[in-house]
Every structure is written in C-alpha cells, then in structure tokens.
Amino acid sequence: MTCASCVHKIESTLTKHRGILYCSVALATNKAHIKYDPEIIGPRDIIHTIESLGFEASLVKKDRSASHLDHKREIRHYIYQHKQPTDLIACDTPLSLTFGKMVEFYTEEENFFGGWYFYIQAYKALKHKTANMDVLIVLATTIAFAYSLVILLVAMYERAKVNPITFFDTPPMLFVFIALGRWLEHIAKGKTSEALAKLISLQATEATIVTLDSDNILLSEEQVDVELVQRGDIIKVVPGGKFPVDGRVIEGHSMVDESLITD
C-alpha cells in the first residue's frame, strides 16, 4: 500500500463482501483487522480477495516478539523493486537532446521504462476500476514522454535548425523523487514500529494465579498462559515482575516493572 486510496480500496471491497462484518486497514503497519462470519467466508477467501485487488496478503501469526512490526525486509524489497541507484544515475545523464546525440535519446528511453513498478501498480488499479497515486504518476510521465517524443520526431522530420523543447528528463526525475520519498516513508514507519515492538516485547507471557481462603491464606498457585486469565482471578506478582493484566492491588507491597502499567 502506498497511500490512503489503497487503504480505502481494500476496506470498501472487503466490507461489501458477503460474510465480512468489520474491516480496518492500517497504512502505517500494513496490517488489517477483519471480523467475519466463518459460516460464510474464511481466511483463504479473504486473502484471495485482497490479492485480486493487486496487493499481497498473508495471515498474521501470533508472535509475542512483535517481529511482524519489523520493516527491514520490506525496505530491502522496496529498494530492489525500484532499483534506486540505477534511477539516480539516470538523472545524471545529459537532459538536453540534440540530433547529433541520438545515443542519449535511447538512454533516456530505457530509463523511462525503468519505472515499470509504477506501471504495474497503475495497471492493477485500473483493472479493478480504481485510481491511486501510481495512476497519476504513470499519467504524468507517459504524457511528458509521449509529447517529447512527438515533438522530437516532428523536428527531425522538418529538419529544424533549433533544438525542440522536450521533457525527457521529467519521467526519470519523477520516478526518482517519488521512489525516494516512499523509501524514506518506509524507514520512518520502521522506526515507529520498532519503538512499538520494544513496548510489546515487555508484555508478560505468563501469569501466576493463586487461590486464597476466606482469611487470605494462600492455598495454591498455578502458572498459566496470560490469555487464560479470567475476570476475578487473583494474580501474584513477584518483586521485579511484570503485570500480566490490568487489575488492582488487594494485598502486599513490593517493587515491580511499571513499563506496562495503564492509567
């Protein structure tokens, strides 16, 4: 996903789908929270619907280490897709075209098609009768290139003595700056998610449930997974330990890790 239009496209498509009760997509984390009726639709059907829109989707597995918030792999994949160094070199080529330097024209044309990623995303959007930022980028670069090509061919046919005003430099420059902006956006999201991942990693994974008699004398204690804690359970937190769930202190005093204490 690259913009709010992508988020809206996924949410609107899924909410219209029979069996889906709720859908919320987060652009910052590239995650979606979906509630559905298992009697009508399943996870594979939902993933197939999202992929039919031109996106990639997979089921987020439960991971207390919060590794799913790591954007390093996504950043590496994005750099590979856009081939950032190649595009940057393309902008350093001479931008003024002359009849005697046709090699430069072919170089610019080749770099123009170096923005294939934007064209693929735009095609997927138009295929599903929607428009996003990639469609606007493709529209602008294609018009600039086509206009310049026509002007150049007309000048060559008429054997003009003055170099025509062309915009062959516009498509590669747009590709570079937009790709660079998105790359920086991925890095910013990665840093934000990293802070959130560190906070989630502090969460307790187990809880000690104790049983007390009428005089608050300990009868038994049991170590259970934090997801098995129920309302009304009495939890024991040892000195230096973590609060597995929200609650109130009923007895004792000590020192604990306050990182995840809510107001």
pLDDT tens digits for range 177-228: 888 888 887 787 777 777 777 777 777 788 899 988 887 788 888 888 887 8
Query: 131, 125 in Cβ contact below 8 A?
Result: yes
In this prediction, residue 35 carries a pLDDT of: 92
Tell me the CATH number for domain 4-60.
3.30.70.100
In this prediction, residue 102 carries a pLDDT of: 37
Cα four-point dihedral sign 78, 80, 84, 85: positive
Nearest to 169 by CA among 88, 93, 232, 230: 93
Q: Tell me the C-alpha distance between 41 and 49, whole Å.
A: 11
* pLDDT-wise least confident of 93-102, 111-120, 137-146, 225-234: 93-102
Task: Match 């790359």 to its residue by tokens.
Answer: 183
Helix (H) or strand (E) run with residue 189 in it: helix 170-201
| C-alpha torsion 213→218→222→227, nearest 10 | 60
Digit-coded pLDDT (tens) for 115-143:
787 888 888 888 877 788 888 889 998 99
Rounded mean pLDDT, 77-88: 50
In this prediction, residue 122 carries a pLDDT of: 86
pTM (two decimals): 0.50
Rounded mean pLDDT, 33-54: 88
φ/ψ of 144, rounded to 5, equals -65, -45
Assign 150 a pLDDT band (cuts: 50, 70, 90).
very high
Domain limits, the chain:
4-60, 72-201, 204-257
